[in-house]
Chain A
């Protein structure tokens, strides 16, 4: 594990000229009406072949409800406009009306493929405002669950990436292994998704008896299966042909577009918050940050495949080093009294009632906390006015920001490659629209 950020200034990292263009660039910046006028007249033989194609919002390759307006000439994509908002439910506004204890239930629904990371970012931000430390066991449980969640999320990516490119059997395999991880999550948190498990002050419950055996089973089960996928996908000429050299990006472009996560790393820029700005206990475990070389769709696939292995490496170390003790802080301000005390102490009952109705008060201030989600930097900006609800809760969703790379990755490519590019950016629309 080496520390230290990548060397070089912006100019050493390749040209970012392409993403700075305002006009005639890869990004189609027109409204519905203008788009209609842009399209050529099909009945006029002298007209150019330019047309506007709508892809989505319900298209199997758009991972939910992403709609793309593509300006095409023949089969070549000229400009693209991602149209989003179909899943917008005002979760940031909702967050202002929920107490800090209810907050994770809300944010967990943003990135539904990696829900624990949103909960983690929110909880870390709240704890920073409160100025409380969580016990070591809670930290390590969080790390265990998050890394398993990263495995589940990357397996989902491999499944959908395979399916988008015609390797349909991959869809079945990826979901199969993901289901094994989710089964463990269900045992620990009670739910397969949207766990509300990581909460300000620790985690909701301790790991169940025999969790070591379950985790060890996953560690035995998944790596050989990953090797199978390696053979199935990486070694397959058609799959490589579809991805290599498709959707290429330089590190300077990725930085200028604020892209993070596998997209930034695929360009060869080694940046991972777990290593470079360690939170939880990531400075106490050993893992590698994977980078690509060409910044193409194949690199993004390979990085996610190998990151799954790295995550399992971390899980193995967490398994060996899991400390004992409390799974949530004993700070009475945040944590309700134990269930047994409620039966014989009136004060404990009142205290319990206060925490779950009014909620605990958080000191005034504002804070930004970032964690490395499977899709990149997931940030939480919290403003507190001293009350029991966040005054403002903003989630910086990596999918939302990464989506801006799409028009640039697709420019000049074929429409068939657009599917490969969308898939390799791996947006989760719940997080894009919030």
Chain B
């Protein structure tokens, strides 16, 4: 059993494994009865660097992949927060443990540009295949369309 830093958030267990500890940690948890990977998502902490809810021995990185697991019998949920550096955004895929993460990992890849190593089909899922960029990153702005008002001055 790999030991990883643990915290708690609103009564829910939160684990902070390193990317290379992720697969072993999730595998152990699955054997403990966490039979479903409920959710895989990510957060870009670029605009919020000073977050305080990480344990002291976890160094914050720009990206964080968040995996939620669920044990039905013990009514327990556990959340894994994995720090992913921007210059090497790679995390091992959980496909072999939970095939249900396939679409969710593709979504994270599509919207954040984080690659899941060992995923069978690491392609875009929501955006078109030829799309450039990853829109949920904080350095991507929301687009806007100029609105034309009637009789408004053209140049301001």
Residues of A within 8 A of B (CB): 5-7, 9-10, 16, 19-20, 22-23, 27, 29, 31-32, 84-85, 88, 90, 92-94, 97, 128, 255-260, 271, 276-277, 364-368, 370, 377, 379, 381, 383, 385, 391-392, 394, 396, 400-401, 403-404, 433-434
Residues of B within 8 A of A (CB): 9-10, 12, 30, 33, 35-39, 41, 43-44, 47-48, 51-53, 66, 68, 72-75, 77, 79, 95-96, 98-104, 107, 111, 120-121, 123-129, 135-136, 142
Pick from B12, B72, B77, B102: contact of A6, CB under 8 Å: B72
Complex Cα gap A7–B99 (Å):
22
Pick from B74, B95, B101, B142: contact of A93, CB under 8 Å: B142
**Contact present for A256 and B98 (CB under 8 Å):** yes
Complex Cα gap A257–B79 (Å):
18
Q: Is the interface of A mostly helix, strand, loop or mixed?
A: mixed
**Contact present for B53 and A366 (CB under 8 Å):** yes
Do A365 and B9 form a contact, CB below 8 Å, given A22-B120, A29-B120?
yes
| B residues less than 8 Å from A22 (CB atoms) | 95, 120
Pick from B43, B52, B102, B120: contact of A404, CB under 8 Å: B102
Complex Cα gap A29–B73 (Å):
34
**Contact present for B38 and A29 (CB under 8 Å):** no
The residue on A at minimum CB distance from B131 is A85
Do A396 and B41 form a contact, CB below 8 Å, given A6-B73, A259-B100, A271-B72?
yes
| A residues less than 8 Å from B135 (CB atoms) | 90, 93
**Contact present for B37 and A258 (CB under 8 Å):** yes
**Contact present for B68 and A404 (CB under 8 Å):** no
| A residues less than 8 Å from B73 (CB atoms) | 5-7
Do A256 and B100 form a contact, CB below 8 Å, given A97-B142, A367-B9, A368-B79?
yes
**Contact present for A366 and B9 (CB under 8 Å):** yes
| A residues less than 8 Å from B12 (CB atoms) | 368
| A residues less than 8 Å from B79 (CB atoms) | 368
Complex Cα gap A391–B12 (Å):
20
**Contact present for A364 and B102 (CB under 8 Å):** no
Do A94 and B142 form a contact, CB below 8 Å, given A29-B120, A364-B52, A366-B9?
yes
**Contact present for A379 and B100 (CB under 8 Å):** no
Pick from A9, A10, A92, A379: contact of B136, CB under 8 Å: A92
**Contact present for B53 and A401 (CB under 8 Å):** no
The residue on A at minimum CB distance from B96 is A20
Do A88 and B127 form a contact, CB below 8 Å, given A6-B72, A277-B75, A366-B9?
yes
**Contact present for A364 and B142 (CB under 8 Å):** no
**Contact present for B100 and A257 (CB under 8 Å):** yes
| B residues less than 8 Å from A90 (CB atoms) | 135, 142
Complex Cα gap A6–B74 (Å):
10
**Contact present for A379 and B38 (CB under 8 Å):** yes
**Contact present for B38 and A396 (CB under 8 Å):** yes
**Contact present for B51 and A364 (CB under 8 Å):** yes
Pick from B38, B41, B72: contact of A258, CB under 8 Å: B38
Complex Cα gap A97–B144 (Å):
13
**Contact present for B123 and A9 (CB under 8 Å):** no
CB distance from B77 to the nearest CB of A (A): 7
**Contact present for B53 and A85 (CB under 8 Å):** no
Can you pick out 6 interface pairs between chain A and chain B where the beta carbons lie within 8 Å of each other?
Answer: A277-B75, A364-B53, A366-B43, A377-B38, A385-B48, A396-B68
The residue on B at minimum CB distance from A94 is B142
| A residues less than 8 Å from B100 (CB atoms) | 19, 256-259, 401, 404
**Contact present for A433 and B136 (CB under 8 Å):** no
| B residues less than 8 Å from A366 (CB atoms) | 9, 43, 53, 66
CB distance from B127 to the nearest CB of A (A): 6
The residue on B at minimum CB distance from A434 is B126
**Contact present for B39 and A396 (CB under 8 Å):** yes
| A residues less than 8 Å from B101 (CB atoms) | 258
CB distance from B138 to the nearest CB of A (A): 9
| A residues less than 8 Å from B126 (CB atoms) | 84-85, 88, 433-434
| B residues less than 8 Å from A379 (CB atoms) | 38-39, 68
| A residues less than 8 Å from B107 (CB atoms) | 400
Complex Cα gap A336–B149 (Å):
33
Do A85 and B52 form a contact, CB below 8 Å, given A258-B98, A276-B72, A379-B38?
no
| B residues less than 8 Å from A365 (CB atoms) | 9-10, 53
**Contact present for A128 and B10 (CB under 8 Å):** yes
**Contact present for A9 and B33 (CB under 8 Å):** yes
| B residues less than 8 Å from A92 (CB atoms) | 111, 136
| B residues less than 8 Å from A16 (CB atoms) | 99
| B residues less than 8 Å from A9 (CB atoms) | 33
The residue on A at minimum CB distance from B138 is A96
The residue on A at minimum CB distance from B74 is A5
| A residues less than 8 Å from B129 (CB atoms) | 31-32
**Contact present for A381 and B66 (CB under 8 Å):** yes
**Contact present for B35 and A255 (CB under 8 Å):** yes
Complex Cα gap A273–B47 (Å):
35
Task: Pick the most buried of B33, B38, B52, B142: most chain A CB atoms within 10 A of its CB.
Answer: B38
Complex Cα gap A188–B53 (Å):
40
Complex Cα gap A95–B9 (Å):
22
**Contact present for A93 and B136 (CB under 8 Å):** yes
Complex Cα gap A224–B23 (Å):
52
